[in-house]
Amino acid sequence: MSRKNVHLKVDEFKGNIGLIKNLEISIGKIIEEKWEEPMGPTPFPSLTTLRDWDFKLLQRFKPFYLPFCDVCCLCTFGKCDLTGNKRGACGLNMSAQQSRIVLLACCIGAATHIGHARHLVEHLIEEFGRRHPVDVGGVNVEVEAPVTRLVCGIKPETLGDLEAALDYCENQLTHLLSITHTGQEGSNLDFESKVFHAGMIDQVGMEIADLAQISAYGFPKANPEAPLVELGFGAIDIQKPVILCIGHNVPPAIGIVDYLTENGLQGEVEVCGLCCTAHDITRYNPKAKIVGPISWQLRFVRSGVPDVVIVDEQCIRTDILIEAQKVKAPFIATSEKNCQGLEDRTHDSPDKIVEDLVTGKVPGVLILDPEKAGEVAVRVAIEVMPRRGKFKVIPNVENVIEEAKRCRQCDKCRRACPNDLPIPEAMKAAVEGNLEKLNELYDACIGCARCEHACPENIPVHNFIVKAAEKKMKAETFKVRAGRGPIQDVEIRNVGGPIVLGEIPGVVAFVGCANYPKGGKEIAEMVMEFAKRRFIVVTSGCAAMSAGMYKNEEGKTPYEIYSGDFDAGGILNVGSCVSNPHIAGAAIKIASIFAKRKLRANYEEIADYVLNRVGAVGVAWGAMSQKAASIASGFWRLGVPVIVGPHGIKYRRMLLGRADKQEDWYVYDARTGEKVYVGPTPEHLFYAAETKEEAMVMIAKLCMRPNDTTKGRAIKLTHYIDLHKRLYGIMPEDIHLFVRTIADVPVTMKDEIIKILEKKDWKETVIPDPTLLPRLIRKKKE
Amino acid sequence: MAVEPWQTAEIPGPKKALVITKPEVVVAMMKRAQRPVLIVGHKAVEIELGNKKVVDYMIELAEKAKIPIVATAHMINEFLKRNYKPAGFMPAVDIGNRLTDPEWNGLDGKGPYDMALFVGLPYYMEWTILSGLKHFAQNLKTITLDNVYHPNASWSFPNISIKDWIENLKVIIEKIEGGA
Ligand code: SF4
Ligand code: SF4
Ligand code: SF4
């Protein structure tokens, strides 16, 4: 494929960090300069351009390594025992090795999104042309690509323009991956800086993917009233042929919807999805349905409901072909990245492929043409449904009781279960005809089937759980708002002030996968709690689905109870994994649109703004994937703290502040150049909470920022104290660290708090115009 | 006796916890420690030991041994409901992190701890935090009072039944009388 080379030339640029002469950047292709904003200091940053900023963050939020493995086996010198920070044969010590693994994970995550974006952009250019405009909200979204503008310094206007940013991402990614080779970086902090870099370019890659698909497919464009779509196992009409799409890259699913429309078959076939592809089909066609998060894969397929299983890429069970075969459901793979050993039938006639799949001549096919895959999926589903009769592998109750008798109470299932579920006890009860204990396991079961593989008696444990919980599962009928895409500029103008002053207590984003410790219900509970408290609640990915899986007494789900506005008390689903940059983008737009900070290639200043002023927190309660790691790291560099659930500790590195070290919490007052103590705001950058209660208290706390006005701080403190008292049964013991002047103290608790302040020897300080960047000081101290 | 981690795949090593074969070992080590601390996670209120919970045993132990407790997650609430005020409370990752800092002088500011006892964190969380301490807090001895083998501790019980767990805790509490 031909791509011209980009050339960005700036003869002389005088910026805050000095004079840049003859800056030339050649990546990808020429972008016509139509953007009036002058170029900022760091267009297309290289591996080390933002290293100073990273080190400022890492100075405060020091890595705490939690090795998940004591050895390194990445080269043939190994295995090397790194116990106790020993060095391996190449000289690397344990801290560096851990940060190296984090970098590797983030490279995998970023590569996955960037590769996804590349495939999507190539496909859409083929279909819609290079000149197809990037339009994600018309006049409502004039800053259409905040992350790309900020990082790259370009303003993409057409699908073709997006390629330049992708070229840059791929280039950086290659360098980043190379750093994990034996005998490169030796310092853990430099590895960490590169982790941030990977996260930042990941945000660019994701943004491009979502801009491209919103623009080309006409997904909701920054629409707070995006349609409510059906969600849940019970929402799927099993009287119809059912096509199940799993994965993240939506073109094949679009192929299905288009084929149905073109052939007048809408309403005849049920199209549903799992994971992000599900979000993206409903953004294309709100009649499509979402079964649920990724952990519903096995239970749904095994229940026999889908007549065809079609997969694209990412987070798909790699044994899903085998599972589809068990229920006699034809299988279609559609991605070069996930071929499943199947024969490539891309160039065969649809008639022939349909025949082979319907008659069961082949269990599955690979079709690398989304339109053809769409046609085949529909025709096969219609023809195969009567033949397979929704054949399922979930046993009946008698079978469960009978088979449970084989259980020898060996505990192997439980010891394989990531959530340590008491399966043997449930088996014992089942033998006595009581399936209630199996039913109880359903909510916290993430559907991994490790229990089954561990069982020496080959008992299909997961199937038993699904059977026992059948009623509850079939009653899963909820609503989720289809992914709305970006936040409008006018929404930012309206809430920018209240957020930066602290009067809207925070923006909380629930994102990521479904590796929950105690079920997805916890997400819905947290979402409801913070919406009720009038935080702005944003959701995406599998978490957006879990957030919808709750009903109040009137049968209403969170998305029906609360509005989809980016405003206090709103719950807004931005969309799939690749929609996450709209959340980062909102923070960036607050700095640029509301505070009028220069956006173009001005990463450090904007991140400094976000860290010190925008009370935003990400929560990835069930973070599982490498993508989730890179998504989180993109938020870290931008100054947005991220909380993960307890399983997130297996990312093996936290970035923790030390509230007890006063010296860590000084900023410059940009007005005077004085150094001012601002308390641990925010206290951590990356942090795994043990329980939902702990996460909730921490969310409220991490929303505090040095810039909060006294009124804003009082509001934030009220939420923090209130949640702390309710969930911990006691006043927080660190209030004095967050009170700068008496006016910060919530009036209703004044007496109580002042007593605490006195006991803690508290001293009043000033509220600065906070920054970590000396160059932003307006009046230098003599 | 083959000692295996509770979660089958959480393979540790080369350095693995020494196995506590009888509860008296814990008593002896606690008595030897200058500055021990006991970290109690939220599962201590979920796990029933006969008619009591793990947390109830921990309160008894802390009172008898005069050893400070750090409650993680929302456990502080559970202690307070039982009229016991722990020496401190903070997230599990925070106490883990502080314990790797040789300059951290403990909750009372009187000097670094030389022994940390753990109980009641989710297995994989305790596993990883103990790993962090094994690698980066080498002057600290760690002991787990759970009934599952924690290879990253300095000392751990093997995987034992609830019944044996109760027995062990009773012996420890009885023999620690007089303070650690
Ligand atoms: S990369 Fe280094 S630490 Fe790892 S196995 Fe090779 S020599 Fe050992
Ligand atoms: S399928 Fe469910 S019960 Fe089985 S190991 Fe996985 S989480 Fe545990
Ligand atoms: S692994 Fe199988 S036999 Fe062993 S306790 Fe679990 S269900 Fe029973």
Amino acid letter for position A97: Q
Contact flag B91-A71 (C-beta cutoff 8 Å) = no
**Would you say residue B5 lies in a domain?**
no
- Burial degree of A595 (CB within 10 A; 0-12, 13-18, 19+): middle
**Would you say residue A511 lies in a domain?**
yes
Residues A195, A236 share a domain: no
Output the residue whose Cα is nearest ligand 3's atom 6.
A413
Amino acid letter for position A344: D
**Would you say residue B57 lies in a domain?**
yes
Residue A238 C-alpha from the chain's centroid: 31
The interface predicted TM-score of the complex, written ipTM, equals 0.97
Contacts B7 to A, Cβ<8 Å: 415-416, 420
Question: Is residue A11 very low, low, confident or very high in pLDDT (cuts 50, 70, 90)?
Answer: low
Which of these, A325, A22, A29, lies nearest to A158 by C-alpha position?
A29
Which two tokens mark A217? 């497919």
**Would you say residue B13 lies in a domain?**
no
Residues A656, A757 share a domain: yes
**Would you say residue B95 lies in a domain?**
yes
| Nearest residue in chain B measured CA to CA from A517 | B122
Which two tokens mark B61? 């132990």
Average pLDDT over residues A352-368: 98
**Would you say residue A43 lies in a domain?**
no
Contact flag A70-B12 (C-beta cutoff 8 Å) = yes
- With tokens 């589903």, the residue in question is A381
Count of domains forming chain B: 1
Sorted by sequence, the CB contacts under 8 Å of residue A650 that are 6+ apart come out as: A68, B124, B128
Which of these, A209, A291, A211, lies nearest to A246 by C-alpha position?
A291
Which of these, A233, A717, A248, A705, lies nearest to A476 by C-alpha position?
A233
- CA A154 to CA A173: how far, in whole Å? 19
Calculate ∠ Cα A169-A98-B122, nearest 5°: 115
Which two tokens mark A77? 């010198």
Residues A55, A131 share a domain: yes
Give A252-298 pLDDT, tens digit per residue.
Answer: 999 999 999 999 999 999 999 999 999 999 999 999 999 999 899 99
Could you tell me the CATH number of the domain that includes residue A120? 1.10.8.190
Domain boundary among A195, A217, A239: A217
pLDDT at A15: 47
Ligand 1 near A80 CB (within 6 A): yes
Ligand 3 near A438 CB (within 6 A): no
Contact flag A64-B6 (C-beta cutoff 8 Å) = no
Average pLDDT over residues A661-674: 97
CA of B24 to nearest chain A CA: how many angstroms apart? 28
Disruptive mutation site among B74, B100, B154 for chain A (greatest number of A CBs within 10 Å): B74
- Whether the pLDDT of residue A439 is over 90: the answer is yes
Residues A624, A587 share a domain: yes
Span from the CA of A450 to the centroid of ligand 3 (angstroms): 12
Sorted by sequence, the CB contacts under 8 Å of residue A498 that are 6+ apart come out as: A504, A568, A712
Question: Which helix (H) or strand (E) element contains residue B52?
Answer: strand B52-53
Residues A259, A167 share a domain: no
Disruptive mutation site among B7, B135, B140 for chain A (greatest number of A CBs within 10 Å): B135
Ligand 1 near A184 CB (within 6 A): no
Task: Note whether A704 and A682 are within 8 A (CB).
Answer: yes
- Whether the pLDDT of residue A409 is over 60: the answer is yes
pLDDT at A237: 97
Calculate ∠ Cα A717-A723-A725, nearest 5°: 95
Calculate ∠ Cα A479-A480-A484, nearest 5°: 150
Which two tokens mark A726? 């309710």
Contact flag A420-B122 (C-beta cutoff 8 Å) = yes
CA of A667 to nearest chain B CA: how many angstroms apart? 23
- Whether the pLDDT of residue A652 is over 70: the answer is yes
Phi first, then psi: give them for residue A120, nearest 5 degrees: -65, -50
Q: Is A511 helix (H, G, I), strand (E, B) or coil?
A: coil
Give A523-538 pLDDT, tens digit per residue.
Answer: 999 999 999 999 999 9
Domain residues for the domain of A686 are 478-774
- CA A281 to CA A244: how far, in whole Å? 11
- CA A726 to CA A729: how far, in whole Å? 5
pLDDT at A17: 47
- With tokens 């206290």, the residue in question is A683
Could you tell me the CATH number of the domain that includes residue A594? 3.40.50.2030
pLDDT at A9: 52
Question: Is residue A10 very low, low, confident or very high in pLDDT (cuts 50, 70, 90)?
Answer: low
- CA B70 to CA B111: how far, in whole Å? 16
Phi first, then psi: give them for residue A632, nearest 5 degrees: -60, -40
Contacts A658 to B, Cβ<8 Å: 97-98, 101
pLDDT at A503: 84
Question: Is residue B138 very low, low, confident or very high in pLDDT (cuts 50, 70, 90)?
Answer: confident
Residues A212, A245 share a domain: no
Ligand nearest to the CA of A89: 1
Contacts A647 to B, Cβ<8 Å: 124
- Whether the pLDDT of residue A121 is over 60: the answer is yes
- Whether the pLDDT of residue A203 is over 90: the answer is yes
Contacts B129 to A, Cβ<8 Å: 66, 649
Question: Is residue B144 very low, low, confident or very high in pLDDT (cuts 50, 70, 90)?
Answer: very high
Residues A357, A419 share a domain: no
Average pLDDT over residues A192-219: 98
Task: Note whether B120 and B40 are within 8 A (CB).
Answer: yes
Buried (b) or exposed (e) across B151-177, using 16+ Cβ within 10 A? bbbbbbbbbbeeeebbebbeebbebbe
**Higher per-residue confidence, A357 vs A11:** A357
- Whether the pLDDT of residue A20 is over 70: the answer is no
Residues A174, A100 share a domain: yes
Residue to mutate (ligand 2; options A441, A453, A463, A516; most atoms within 8 A of CB): A441
- CA A217 to CA A120: how far, in whole Å? 11
- CA A439 to CA B6: how far, in whole Å? 24
**Would you say residue B121 lies in a domain?**
yes
Domain boundary among A166, A193, A217: A217
Chain A interface includes B74 (CB < 8 A) = yes
pLDDT at B177: 74
Amino acid letter for position A692: K
CA of B32 to nearest chain A CA: how many angstroms apart? 23
Work out the number of other CB atoms within 10 angstroms of the CB of residue A33: 12
Task: Note whether A16 and A41 are within 8 A (CB).
Answer: yes
Contact flag B93-A94 (C-beta cutoff 8 Å) = no
| Nearest residue in chain A measured CA to CA from B40 | A690
Phi first, then psi: give them for residue A697, nearest 5 degrees: -60, -40
Chain A interface includes B43 (CB < 8 A) = no
Ligand nearest to the CA of A448: 2
Question: Which helix (H) or strand (E) element contains residue A507?
Answer: strand A507-510
Could you tell me the CATH number of the domain that includes residue B112? 3.40.50.1220
Q: How far apart are the first and last CA of chain A?
A: 59
3-state DSSP percent of chain B in helix, strand and coil, to 5? 40, 15, 45
- Burial degree of A400 (CB within 10 A; 0-12, 13-18, 19+): buried
Contacts A693 to B, Cβ<8 Å: 73-74, 77
Amino acid letter for position A438: L
- CA A415 to CA A455: how far, in whole Å? 10
CA of A118 to nearest chain B CA: how many angstroms apart? 36
- CA A75 to CA A72: how far, in whole Å? 8
Contact flag A694-B135 (C-beta cutoff 8 Å) = no
**Would you say residue B86 lies in a domain?**
yes
Residues A411, A520 share a domain: no
Residues A401, A317 share a domain: no
pLDDT at A29: 44
Calculate ∠ Cα B11-B15-B17, nearest 5°: 80
Give B73-94 pLDDT, tens digit per residue.
Answer: 999 999 999 999 999 999 999 9
Span from the CA of A438 to the centroid of ligand 3 (angstroms): 13
Which of these, A386, A379, A326, A389, lies nearest to A356 by C-alpha position?
A379
Which residues is A676 bridged to in the sheet? A667
- CA A102 to CA A86: how far, in whole Å? 19
Contacts A656 to B, Cβ<8 Å: 93-94, 97
- Whether the pLDDT of residue A645 is over 60: the answer is yes
**Residue A486: cis peptide before it, omega within 30 degrees of 0:** no
What is the pLDDT of chain A when averaged over all its residues? 94
pLDDT at A780: 62
- CA A704 to CA A740: how far, in whole Å? 12
Count of domains forming chain A: 4
- CA A536 to CA A24: how far, in whole Å? 41
**Would you say residue B79 lies in a domain?**
yes
pLDDT at A502: 83
Which of these, A285, A337, A332, lies nearest to A118 by C-alpha position?
A337
Task: Note whether B11 and B159 are within 8 A (CB).
Answer: no
Span from the CA of A457 to the centroid of ligand 3 (angstroms): 7
Question: Chains A and B: how many Cβ contacts under 8 Å?
Answer: 119
Domain residues for the domain of B69 are 18-175
pLDDT at A722: 97
Span from the CA of A69 to the centroid of ligand 1 (angstroms): 13
| Nearest residue in chain A measured CA to CA from B92 | A690
- Burial degree of A672 (CB within 10 A; 0-12, 13-18, 19+): middle
Sorted by sequence, the CB contacts under 8 Å of residue A177 that are 6+ apart come out as: A104, A107, A111
- CA A695 to CA A621: how far, in whole Å? 9
Which of these, A515, A762, A532, lies nearest to A646 by C-alpha position?
A515
% of chain A beyond a pLDDT of 70: 95
Contacts B123 to A, Cβ<8 Å: 420
CA of A584 to nearest chain B CA: how many angstroms apart? 26
CA of A643 to nearest chain B CA: how many angstroms apart? 12
Give B34-68 pLDDT, tens digit per residue.
Answer: 999 999 999 999 999 999 999 999 999 999 999 99
| Residues making up chain B, counted from first to last | 180
Q: Is A158 helix (H, G, I), strand (E, B) or coil?
A: strand
Give A604-628 pLDDT, tens digit per residue.
Answer: 999 999 999 999 999 999 999 999 9
Give A491-530 pLDDT, tens digit per residue.
Answer: 999 999 999 888 899 999 999 999 999 999 999 999 999 9
Task: Note whether A713 and A738 are within 8 A (CB).
Answer: yes
Which of these, B45, B34, B60, lies nearest to B176 by C-alpha position?
B60
- CA B91 to CA B73: how far, in whole Å? 5
Give A31-70 pLDDT, tens digit per residue.
Answer: 455 688 999 999 999 999 999 999 999 999 999 999 999 9
**Would you say residue A22 lies in a domain?**
no
**Residue B14: cis peptide before it, omega within 30 degrees of 0:** yes
Task: Write down the H helix ranges in A18-93.
Answer: 51-60
Question: Is residue A433 very low, low, confident or very high in pLDDT (cuts 50, 70, 90)?
Answer: very high
Contacts A68 to B, Cβ<8 Å: 128, 131
Average pLDDT over residues A473-481: 96
Span from the CA of B135 to the centroid of ligand 1 (angstroms): 17
Beta strands A242-246 and A270-274: pairing type? parallel
Q: What is chain B's alpha carbon radius of gyration, rounded to the nearest angstrom? A: 15
Q: Output the DSSP codes for A395-449.
A: PPHHHHHHHHTT-----HHHHH-TT---HHHHHHHHHTT--HHHHHHGGG-----
Question: Which helix (H) or strand (E) element contains residue B97?
Answer: helix B92-99
Question: Is residue A97 very low, low, confident or very high in pLDDT (cuts 50, 70, 90)?
Answer: very high
Output the residue whose Cα is nearest ligand 3's atom 4.
A410
Atom nearest to A423 CA in ligand 2: 3
Residues A192, A79 share a domain: yes
- With tokens 């590796």, the residue in question is A515
Residue to mutate (ligand 1; options A69, A74, A181; most atoms within 8 A of CB): A74
**Would you say residue B169 lies in a domain?**
yes
Which two tokens mark A170? 């791929």
pLDDT at A501: 86
Q: What is chain A's alpha carbon radius of gyration, rounded to the nearest angstrom? A: 26
pLDDT at A28: 43
Sorted by sequence, the CB contacts under 8 Å of residue A406 that are 6+ apart come out as: A457, A459
Ligand 3 near A410 CB (within 6 A): yes
Ligand 3 near A408 CB (within 6 A): yes
- CA B177 to CA B102: how far, in whole Å? 30
Average pLDDT over residues A339-349: 98
Question: Is residue B178 very low, low, confident or very high in pLDDT (cuts 50, 70, 90)?
Answer: low
Residues A364, A258 share a domain: yes
Give A569-590 pLDDT, tens digit per residue.
Answer: 999 999 999 999 999 999 999 9
Span from the CA of A454 to the centroid of ligand 2 (angstroms): 10
